[in-house]
Amino acid sequence: MFNKPKGTRDFKPTEMKKRRIIENKLREVFERYNFKEICTPTFESFELLSKKTGEEIRKQLFVFKDHGNREMGLRPEMTSSVVRFYINELKNLPKPIKLYYFSNCFRYENPQAGRYREFWQMGCELIGSAYPISDAEIINLAMDGLENINMDYEIHIGHLGILKGIFSFFNVNEDEELKIRRLIDKEDYNGLKEYLSTLNNKKDGNVMEDIIFQLLDFKGDRDIINEVEYLLKDFPKSLDSLNNLRDILDFVKYENITINFGIARGLDYYTGMVFEIYGTKEGARQVCGGGRYDNLIELFGGQKVPAVGFAYGFDRIMLNIDDFEVEEDSILVVPVQRDKELIKECIKIGDKLRRVDKIVELELMNRRLNKALDYANTVGIKKVIIVGKRELENNTVILKNMETGEQKVVSIDDLERTV
Amino acid sequence: MFNKPKGTRDFKPTEMKKRRIIENKLREVFERYNFKEICTPTFESFELLSKKTGEEIRKQLFVFKDHGNREMGLRPEMTSSVVRFYINELKNLPKPIKLYYFSNCFRYENPQAGRYREFWQMGCELIGSAYPISDAEIINLAMDGLENINMDYEIHIGHLGILKGIFSFFNVNEDEELKIRRLIDKEDYNGLKEYLSTLNNKKDGNVMEDIIFQLLDFKGDRDIINEVEYLLKDFPKSLDSLNNLRDILDFVKYENITINFGIARGLDYYTGMVFEIYGTKEGARQVCGGGRYDNLIELFGGQKVPAVGFAYGFDRIMLNIDDFEVEEDSILVVPVQRDKELIKECIKIGDKLRRVDKIVELELMNRRLNKALDYANTVGIKKVIIVGKRELENNTVILKNMETGEQKVVSIDDLERTV
């Protein structure tokens, strides 16, 4: 017997229906913000995928050679592809460019709750604006989406510019910066302490380790921004970033946010405001991540263009919403006997009802009437139309309500309205 | 600069919008027939994918090893995956089981019109019924879909049982059968003649080559079925299949069909009724293929269960429909000056309108009013709401119609209705 590959999933009809409902509710919000959907290839050159995604993700790439011996990989995230597409074909569109996608991505994960080797991301990229209102638009959109599906969540917003201001003051190089950011991202504070002590950065009476750990301690509502100001007084670039964060937050329409300077994001390419959203259900906590990446397009060979975006982890969102019932209202059309002419009448009636957008099943198993009614009961079909010769002579059929058991004779001409 | 992989595509917003519109119109029809959507992994074990897809497709597989050294491939079509899923998890559902999918598939094709290395298939499988009405249901569904998108098409319906009856009479083995079917499928009649002459099958005064070439000559409307009967008089299995085809056609609700005994299908697994649909535009002719496959589930390790299905080549459908305009009705909200409080009012107004499902852009580039109006003109935004301090004092804004140039002062409270 064949099995699906490890870490992947098959989605059954009911599950798929729920996923589509949630997808469409999120899509609705993206469209209201006038973001436009795009689609890029499922695989990309290894070179592109490995350029800026971070070491950890690089190790998880599914890599293969195409028949022309070019090294390819299944995309582990979408931002690299969107940026490539932008540089290749979209760069001359009027700014800002507002794009969204709903795409499957692939990582060689160890299977665990909420982590799959094929998973879905829904996200957006706003390209061309460096103004705080564009950061806010992205945060508002991310929150509006989750509001639209009634999901409980917590949002943490930070700013990498604050850390970067400290790094630049202490002459921390790029490799060191990435190492520090990864330790912060993983909340590995022992590892962080150890690593910072090896750097031993001191300057003008400031000790980097102290500053960073104090900074990480600030976490709370908007007032934190004023409170942290004194800590950053010697770091002008950090203060600029703090002001930028303040300006952004002025445009965020929700109050229930947490300022958290420990948001460092696993992906290397973020440069400014960063945020993460967590679900409140057990397991699979992070459901969304995003932020500003003003250097990535240039790094990928385009002009320097500011950009900001986010992605929902769609599978994690599905784990975080309350389960719901999907209402179905389908009709079964059955001939009263196994008779070719009656079956043809069933097909005609089915056709008539499908044309007015009713969900109609025909009896495809050649079952006798009572077996067909059993089937309708089993699969939850609520109405059965029984087609018999005698009724047909009067241009009528029998309509049976499976919930009440009630039967009535109805005119075929009125069927679109009575069913 | 990075490029997309050869043979793949990026879809721009307008193209993607059109694809979604067509996808949803097809989906609508599948749902009306009470087919339920499923989703399976993008890659599968090489073993599964190579089992029954046919030599040609096997050569075009994208193959890779996962980190556990298991050989995987990107799916080249969906039926194998659906059958695997059915055997793994769906086999105990009440019959018939009616599934549909909209999925990307992958083949290493030489790029040409309508052939891509990543392409989309939308299709369905009806599992559990061997009755002619289920074949007809599948044909009716395939035709209804194309009717729903107003595509011009031609449908050719045949029956592999007729050829198989001839093969069995002449003791043609499985390898020989597949070879003959592929030559027929490619319409390589010289190759076919040559190959049949090497087999040299004669029995009871019948010559296989003659019979097959006469059979292939029959092509036309439903009457053909009666005309071909004499040719098959010595092949009882072929006559059974002809009667099966006649029964199926009795339940097909459209008249514009062509009977074509030369439909042999490239995939090895079909056993009974087969059909192909062609678009009428230049290039990318075949847009749909399907048929009955009663042995496949057993071959894959399940019980013997009859099944019938089809798939649209979605990209080819897109090439075959007339281009159409996508109407957009979006609103831009702009502050009359660069003022933080005014921007905040813009955000509030945007929020209010988005809540009633309007498509709203905020001014994210910090442009002056006249530049913002230029932008609106360029991207085709039809209404601009101008937010100024003086108007706000009266709880009003200015609404500018970009098509007529007309401006009027409107109350913010009425905005949901007046915009």
What's the number of CA atoms in the CB half-sphere (13 Å) around residue A297? Answer: 24
Residue A39 with chain B: CB contacts under 8 Å: 10-11, 16, 19
What is the Cα A390 distance to its own chain's centre?
Answer: 55
> Is A64 close to B62, i.e. CB distance below 8 A?
yes
Question: Would an 8 Å CB–CB cutoff place A248 in contact with chain B?
Answer: no
With a CB cutoff of 8 Å and minimum separation 6, the contacts of A410 are A396, A397, A398, A399, A418, A419
User: Could you tell me which of B293, B297, B286 has the C-alpha nearest to residue B142?
Assistant: B286
Question: Would an 8 Å CB–CB cutoff place B144 in contact with chain A?
Answer: yes
Question: Would an 8 Å CB–CB cutoff place B56 in contact with chain A?
Answer: no
Nearest-CA distance from A369 to chain B in Å? 15
Question: Would an 8 Å CB–CB cutoff place B89 in contact with chain A?
Answer: yes
Distances (CA, A) of A207 to A190, A216, A231: 17, 15, 12
Q: What percent of chain B has pLDDT over 90?
A: 86
> Is A42 close to B74, i.e. CB distance below 8 A?
yes
8 Å CB contact between A168 and A341: no
Element at A193 (helix H, strand E): helix A189-199
8 Å CB contact between B161 and B265: no
Question: Would an 8 Å CB–CB cutoff place B308 in contact with chain A?
Answer: no
Residue B67 with chain A: CB contacts under 8 Å: 108
8 Å CB contact between A396 and A410: yes
pLDDT digits (tens, 9 = 90+) for A226-252: 999 999 999 999 999 999 999 999 999
Is pLDDT at B205 greater than 90 in this prediction?
A: no
Is pLDDT at B145 greater than 80 in this prediction?
A: yes
Weakest mean pLDDT among A127-136, A319-328, B342-351 = A319-328
For residue B375, count other CB atoms closer than 10 A to its CB.
Answer: 20
Query: Helix, strand, or coil here: A261?
Result: coil
Q: What is the 3-state secondary structure (H, E, C) of B338-389?
A: CCHHHHHHHHHHHHHHHHCCCEEEECCCCCCHHHHHHHHHHHCCCEEEEECH
Is pLDDT at A54 greater than 70 in this prediction?
A: no
For residue A265, count other CB atoms closer than 10 A to its CB.
Answer: 21
Q: Which amino acid is at B220?
A: G
pLDDT band at A265 (very low <50, low <70, confident <90, very high): confident
8 Å CB contact between B75 and B103: yes
A 145-204 residues inside an 8 A Cβ radius of B: none
For residue A380, count other CB atoms closer than 10 A to its CB.
Answer: 12
> What average pLDDT does chain A have?
94
Query: Which pair of structure tokens corresponds to residue B393?
Result: 């004092």
User: Could you tell me which of A116, A17, A6, A45 has the C-alpha nearest to residue A323?
Assistant: A17
Q: Which of A10, A84, A340 sits opposite B89 (nearest CB)?
A: A10
Predicted confidence at residue B59, as pLDDT, reads 85
> Is B253 close to A348, i.e. CB distance below 8 A?
yes
Query: Helix, strand, or coil here: A174?
Result: helix
Distance CA(B364)–CA(A34), nearest Å, equals 12
Weakest mean pLDDT among A12-16, A48-52, A126-130, B116-120 = A48-52
Q: What share of chain B is helix, strand, coil (3-state, %, to 5)?
A: 40, 25, 35
pLDDT digits (tens, 9 = 90+) for A79-119: 999 999 999 999 999 999 999 999 999 999 887 766 899 99
> Is A41 close to B6, i.e. CB distance below 8 A?
no
Report, as an integer, the average pLDDT of A138-165. 96
**A118-127/A153-159 β-pairing:** unpaired
Question: Would an 8 Å CB–CB cutoff place A72 in contact with chain B?
Answer: yes
pLDDT band at A56 (very low <50, low <70, confident <90, very high): confident
Predicted confidence at residue B271, as pLDDT, reads 93
Report, as an integer, the average pLDDT of B93-108. 96
Distance CA(B372)–CA(B384), nearest Å, equals 9
pLDDT digits (tens, 9 = 90+) for B304-314: 999 999 999 99
Q: Which of A33, A96, A364 sits opposite B137 (nearest CB)?
A: A364
Residue B118 with chain A: CB contacts under 8 Å: 41-43
Question: Would an 8 Å CB–CB cutoff place B374 in contact with chain A?
Answer: no
Query: Which pair of structure tokens corresponds to residue A267?
Result: 């992906």
Q: Strands (DSSP E) along B117-196, which ranges? A: 118-127, 153-159
> Is B88 close to A1, i.e. CB distance below 8 A?
yes
User: Could you tell me which of B31, B1, B78 has the C-alpha nearest to residue B267?
Assistant: B78
Distance CA(B271)–CA(A13), nearest Å, equals 27
Nearest-CA distance from A297 to chain B in Å? 11
> Is B140 close to A358, i.e. CB distance below 8 A?
no
> Is A344 close to B44, i.e. CB distance below 8 A?
no
Query: Helix, strand, or coil here: A267?
Result: coil
Weakest mean pLDDT among A145-154, B134-143, B172-181, B265-274 = B265-274
pLDDT digits (tens, 9 = 90+) for A304-316: 999 999 999 999 9
pLDDT digits (tens, 9 = 90+) for A366-413: 999 999 999 999 999 999 999 999 999 999 999 999 999 999 999 999
> Is A88 close to B6, i.e. CB distance below 8 A?
no
Is pLDDT at B391 greater than 70 in this prediction?
A: yes
Residue B359 with chain A: CB contacts under 8 Å: 31-34
Q: Give me the interface pTM, i.e. the ipTM.
A: 0.94
Question: Would an 8 Å CB–CB cutoff place A1 in contact with chain B?
Answer: yes
8 Å CB contact between A403 and A381: no
Predicted confidence at residue A154, as pLDDT, reads 96
pLDDT digits (tens, 9 = 90+) for A270-295: 999 999 999 998 766 899 999 999 99
Query: Which pair of structure tokens corresponds to residue B44?
Result: 């599968």
Weakest mean pLDDT among A96-100, A354-358, B182-186 = B182-186
User: Could you tell me which of B281, B268, B88 has the C-alpha nearest to residue B182?
Assistant: B268
> Is A359 close to B134, i.e. CB distance below 8 A?
no
Q: What percent of chain A has pLDDT over 90?
A: 86
Question: Would an 8 Å CB–CB cutoff place B224 in contact with chain A?
Answer: no
Q: Which of A9, A129, A253 sits opposite B41 (nearest CB)?
A: A9
Distance CA(A248)–CA(A264), nearest Å, equals 18
pLDDT digits (tens, 9 = 90+) for B27-82: 999 999 999 999 999 999 999 998 876 667 778 999 999 888 999 999 999 999 99
CB pairs under 8 A between A and B: 253
pLDDT band at B212 (very low <50, low <70, confident <90, very high): very high
Query: Which pair of structure tokens corresponds to residue A2?
Result: 């064949």
Predicted confidence at residue B284, as pLDDT, reads 62
Nearest-CA distance from A203 to chain B in Å? 38
> Is B88 close to A17, i.e. CB distance below 8 A?
no
Distance CA(B190)–CA(A175), nearest Å, equals 66
Nearest-CA distance from B227 to chain A in Å? 23
Report, as an integer, the average pLDDT of B375-391. 96
Q: Which of B17, B134, B340 sits opposite A250 (nearest CB)?
A: B340
Query: Which pair of structure tokens corresponds to residue A268?
Result: 């290397």
Report, as an integer, the average pLDDT of B317-339. 93
> Is B347 close to A20, i.e. CB distance below 8 A?
no
Nearest-CA distance from A330 to chain B in Å? 7
Report, as an integer, the average pLDDT of A166-178. 92
Question: Would an 8 Å CB–CB cutoff place A379 in contact with chain B?
Answer: yes
pLDDT band at B111 (very low <50, low <70, confident <90, very high): confident
Weakest mean pLDDT among A14-18, A174-178, B28-32, B363-367 = A174-178
Question: Would an 8 Å CB–CB cutoff place B4 in contact with chain A?
Answer: yes
Q: Which residue of B has its CA nearest to A349?
A: B253
Predicted confidence at residue B54, as pLDDT, reads 65
8 Å CB contact between A120 and A92: no
Residue A45 with chain B: CB contacts under 8 Å: 2-3, 5
pLDDT band at A38 (very low <50, low <70, confident <90, very high): very high
For tokens 């090497």, the residue is: B198
8 Å CB contact between B332 and B383: yes
Nearest-CA distance from B300 to chain A in Å? 7
Furthest-apart CA pair in chain B: how many Å?
A: 100
**Among A6, A8, A10, the residue to mutate for chain B (most B Cβ within 10 A):** A10
8 Å CB contact between A133 and B367: no
Residue A130 with chain B: CB contacts under 8 Å: none
What is the Cα B14 distance to its own chain's centre?
Answer: 20
Query: Which pair of structure tokens corresponds to residue A316?
Result: 């994690």
Is pLDDT at B199 greater than 80 in this prediction?
A: yes
